[in-house]
A and B are shown apart, each in its own frame.
Chain A
Amino acid sequence: MNIEAIKSIYFFEMARTRRTLLQSVVSPVISTSLYFIVFGAAIGGRIQEIDGVSYGAFITPGLMMLTLLTQCIGNGSFGIYFPKFTGTIYEVLSSPVSMVEIVLGYVGAAATKGLMIGTIILLTASLFVDLTIAHPFVMVFFFVLTAISFSLFGFIIGIWAKDFEQLNLIPMLVIPPLVFLGGSFYSVKMLPPFWQAVSHFNPVLYLISGFRWSFFEVSDVNPIFSAVIILAFLTICMSVLAWIFRTGYRLRN
């Protein structure tokens, strides 16, 4: 195992986070605060509680997931796409580094950044609402596995994307609707039966629901299902990556 190389890629990527600190850290804090003002204060005035949880606290896990998913996909995809775009990928491909090590470096950095920002949002949220975490280990389980699997997903998008439009397609057009319609700001039980049924085809619902259960022990679906879904997604991403490595798809001609 080329530990030096993994460290080099990881810290090289983390250095970019430091350079773009304002955009990376301050902007999620501001947007979270805005969500709390709009949803928590304005709408929360009308919806007092959902399943016995105050509305402001109820939306916190959803907000964390929204940011975690967007950040991890964004960082995971950009980290590998940018060297492809500038051409500096030649160096990674010609070094004594296995594909697993490349992934550990890039995806490790993307997941770390996602987790850092998720934690910042949790801390910001705790300034607005009273938060208790009923099952901290389960919370960390969902938090970390979601960060890793969506960073892997982003990495795959970064390898697949041929231009910036493709790079932004999924994070901008697919993820936000899935997160918003996945019960970030409401319980799907509040929807008419038809839309409740449709919502169950949205994988993000399971993530948010499981994550929320770890906080408040309330959920739209059984948390075991949520754990199965996230583990299944992780397995799918790893299988796709294994295929990419075997074939050299869009990396080695």
Chain B
Amino acid sequence: MAPIVSVSNLSKTYASGFKALKGVSLDIEQGEILALLGPNGAGKTTLISIICGIVNPSGGTVTVGGHDVVRDFRETRAMIGLVPQELTTDAFETVWNTVTFSRGLHGKKPNPAHIEKVLKDLSLWDKKDNMLRELSGGMKRRVLIAKALSHEPRVLFLDEPTAGVDVNLRKSMWDVVEKLRASGVTIILTTHYIEEAEEIADRIGVINGGEILLVEDKAALMSKLGRKQLRVDLAHPLDDVPDVLSSYNLTLEGDGHCLIYDYDTSAERTGITTLLAALAEAGIRLKDISTRQSSLEDIFVEIVGAGR
């Protein structure tokens, strides 16, 4: 199937001379959840802003549903819902009016039943007549999501949707995202919380310095770049790793109380059995053993660090 969003060699240089994007290419598949990770200033928001039409590109092309975002902006923008990073709301409007306004702006005829459903899904129904300035930050965030969903988009951009949002709200927000995905909506989210991406994304894109460093299926990324560590706590501390164990590339930590062994779970032999036998043979007594899987965060830090 053709990608729903296709970014090709996209570049953006701001008037100040700052190069926010340097030839970014990226395909987003229909119905997937893509998490875009990157440090502050990596170019995430610029990329989203160009796709949504807020920022003009300096070079390259973007298509949404096969339409060019500049030439056929009516078709592409009608398909897109955007939840911006900043909590920007019309303070003196009611929840109902602001969400209805968003639907009209996208050229859709009024549909109170749809707006009601969106507000109920986001637990905003009892606040529908409240002015936005009366709402808490988390509520305002939900209103922004409701606005983005008011015109039934096929592609939803969530730019840092959970910044400053409490745990319960975050959970209910992900429930909504899951429902949307189930209904065929493509979701692109940027987040600082890597564990979130790990939890809900199908694919992970890492962007830094205006360049896409990688886009990979989450499971593949985790198994390719994720390592496992075996930690062996020793009964008696060691000064050095004994020579007989040198082939295992062990590192000594915790003032000699702990040996760390990196291994690859996908390898034919992990080497754990032979290592434990070698430890016993060398007369090293063990107190405890544990294993640890490297997280997406470790992988992210490694990729971004290597790119610098």
Q: Which residues of A pack against B, CB within 8 Å?
A: 2, 4-5, 7-9, 12, 15-16, 19, 83, 86-88, 90-98, 248, 252-253
Q: Do residues B52 and A88 form an inter-chain contact, with CB atoms below 8 A?
A: no
Q: Do residues A8 and B101 form an inter-chain contact, with CB atoms below 8 A?
A: yes
Query: In whole angstroms, what is the CA distance A93 to B69 when docked?
Result: 12
Q: Do residues B53 and A91 form an inter-chain contact, with CB atoms below 8 A?
A: no
Query: In whole angstroms, what is the CA distance A16 to B98 when docked?
Result: 12
Residues of A within 8 A of B80 (CB): 94
* Centre residue among A7, A90, A96, A253 by max chain B CB count within 10 A: A96
Query: In whole angstroms, what is the CA distance A87 to B105 when docked?
Result: 16
Residues of A within 8 A of B97 (CB): 12, 15
Residues of B within 8 A of A91 (CB): 82, 102, 105, 147
Residues of B within 8 A of A87 (CB): 84, 86, 88
Quick one: which of A9, A19, A248 contacts B56, CB cutoff 8 A? A248
**Chain B interface bracket (under 10, 10 to 19, 20 to 34, 35 or more):** 20 to 34
Q: Do residues B53 and A94 form an inter-chain contact, with CB atoms below 8 A?
A: yes
- Of chain B, the residue at the smallest CB distance from A16 is B92
Query: In whole angstroms, what is the CA distance A205 to B143 when docked?
Result: 49
Are A94 and B82 CB-contacts (below 8 A) given A2-B107, A4-B104, A5-B106?
yes
Within 8 A of A (CB), among B159-192: none
Query: In whole angstroms, what is the CA distance A253 to B103 when docked?
Result: 25
Are A92 and B105 CB-contacts (below 8 A) given A15-B97, A253-B14?
yes
Q: Do residues B77 and A94 form an inter-chain contact, with CB atoms below 8 A?
A: yes
- Of chain A, the residue at the smallest CB distance from B100 is A8
Residues of A within 8 A of B52 (CB): 93-94
Residues of B within 8 A of A5 (CB): 104-107
* Chain A contact surface mostly: helix
Query: In whole angstroms, what is the CA distance A110 to B3 when docked?
Result: 43
Residues of A within 8 A of B107 (CB): 2, 4-5, 95-97
Are A96 and B101 CB-contacts (below 8 A) given A4-B109, A88-B88, A88-B89?
no
Q: Do residues B84 and A90 form an inter-chain contact, with CB atoms below 8 A?
A: yes
Residues of A within 8 A of B93 (CB): 12, 15
Residues of A within 8 A of B54 (CB): 90, 93-94, 252
Query: In whole angstroms, what is the CA distance A98 to B84 when docked?
Result: 21
* A78 → chain B closest CB, angstroms: 13
Q: Do residues B105 and A253 form an inter-chain contact, with CB atoms below 8 A?
A: no
Nearest 8 CB-CB pairings of A with B: A8-B104, A87-B88, A96-B74, A94-B52, A96-B77, A95-B105, A2-B107, A96-B78
Having A95-B105, A95-B106, one finds 18 other A-B pairs with CB under 8 Å, namely A2-B74, A7-B104, A9-B105, A15-B97, A83-B90, A86-B89, A86-B91, A90-B88, A91-B82, A91-B102, A91-B105, A94-B80, A94-B82, A95-B107, A96-B73, A96-B107, A97-B77, A97-B105
Residues of A within 8 A of B73 (CB): 96
Residues of B within 8 A of A2 (CB): 74, 107
- Of chain B, the residue at the smallest CB distance from A10 is B104
- Of chain A, the residue at the smallest CB distance from B88 is A87
With an 8 A cutoff between CB atoms, is B55 at the interface?
yes
With an 8 A cutoff between CB atoms, is B2 at the interface?
no
Q: List 21 A-B contacts (CB under 8 A).
A: A2-B107, A4-B105, A4-B106, A5-B105, A8-B103, A12-B101, A87-B86, A90-B54, A92-B105, A93-B54, A94-B53, A94-B54, A94-B80, A95-B105, A96-B74, A96-B76, A97-B77, A252-B53, A252-B54, A253-B14, A253-B56
* A165 → chain B closest CB, angstroms: 21
* B235 → chain A closest CB, angstroms: 61
Query: In whole angstroms, what is the CA distance A9 to B102 when docked?
Result: 10
Within 8 A of A (CB), among B51-66: 52-56
Residues of B within 8 A of A248 (CB): 56
Are A90 and B105 CB-contacts (below 8 A) given A19-B92, A253-B14, A253-B55?
no
With an 8 A cutoff between CB atoms, is B1 at the interface?
no
Residues of A within 8 A of B86 (CB): 87
Are A86 and B101 CB-contacts (below 8 A) given A5-B106, A253-B55?
no
